Amino acid sequence: MTSRIVLNGFTRLAAQACGAALDLLLPPRCLACERTIAEPGGLCAVCWADMPWLEAPRCARLGTPFSHDLGAGALSPRAIAEPPLFDRARAAALYKGPARDLVLTLKFGGRRETAGAMGRWMAFAGHELIEPGTLLVPVPLHRVRLWQRRFNQAALLADAVARQSGADAGLLVLERVRRTRQQVGLDARERQKNVRGAFRLRAGAEAQVAGRPVVLVDDVLTTGSTVTACARVLKAAGAAGVDVLTFAVADPVTGDR
């Protein structure tokens, strides 16, 4: 019996060692699909061509794309009708196609390699938000969900953007004190109600925030109700400004999320 246990343990260790060796031997794969690529940590040519990157011209406030250039500082009808509590939002891509695949890969796999690439593209998309002294703050998960998932994808992204840009990441600045329903499937008013009072500043984080420009980091921006609830807490704590940087933003035409 003992020898069988030892053998089983040995077999498992051998299988793990083989798995690690295979990872080194197999060609690297695209982060958004299964195609093989030359260098690890990137996209294949097909996903790169399909990626719905967001480029100027865009709404100066919400970062959503314009079909034609309206000049510097132009605002979208939505930003004028419902000015957000945060100052500016920027995203690398629209939430569809390979961008959506990347968000889901990160959310359910949590691979640092995926977060690293997404963080690089976010740092590029949000370069005008990040200045000396900027604090990158991820939207927190409730501790029960963090325990279930084992990682917070927003924290992985904030850390990746920090490494890319040189800005500080404040991974323990905010906490989610109330469990909230998943926002998917709720309308804008229900989303606002769902996250009201859900966030607070962690004890001892006041000095980190007061007088500093803060950039809230999340994977996807949809109606903005979650980041608005976080921005309210950060502004009350004396942040010099609160911007929002996400990897993707819901398609303003289809409202996809």
Q: Which residues in this chain contact Zn ion in the complex, by CB under 5 A?
A: 30, 32-33, 35, 44, 47
Tell me how far apart the alpha carbons of residues 10 and 232 are, in angstroms, rounded to a whole number: 54
Least Cβ distance, residue 46 to Zn ion (angstroms): 5
Which CB sits closer to Zn ion, 42 or 252? 42
Which CB sits closer to Zn ion, 31 or 239? 31
Which CB sits closer to Zn ion, 111 or 145? 111
CA distances in angstroms from 55 to 43, 59, 62, 69, 152, listed in the order given? 19, 11, 13, 11, 28
Least Cβ distance, residue 257 to Zn ion (angstroms): 22
Which CB sits closer to Zn ion, 97 or 241? 97
Least Cβ distance, residue 115 to Zn ion (angstroms): 17
Amino acid making up residue 193: K
Quote the radius of gyration of the chain (alpha carbons, Å): 20
Least Cβ distance, residue 30 to Zn ion (angstroms): 3
- Classify burial at 203, counting beta carbons within 10 Å of its beta carbon; exposed 0-12, middle 13-18, buried 19 or more: exposed
Tell me how far apart the alpha carbons of residues 191 and 239 are, in angstroms, rounded to a whole number: 24
Least Cβ distance, residue 109 to Zn ion (angstroms): 15
Which CB sits closer to Zn ion, 101 or 219? 101
For residue 140, say if its preceding peptide bond is cis, omega within 30 degrees of 0: no
Structure tokens at 50: 């399909």
CA distances in angstroms from 83 to 53, 60, 123, 226, listed in the order given? 24, 12, 24, 15
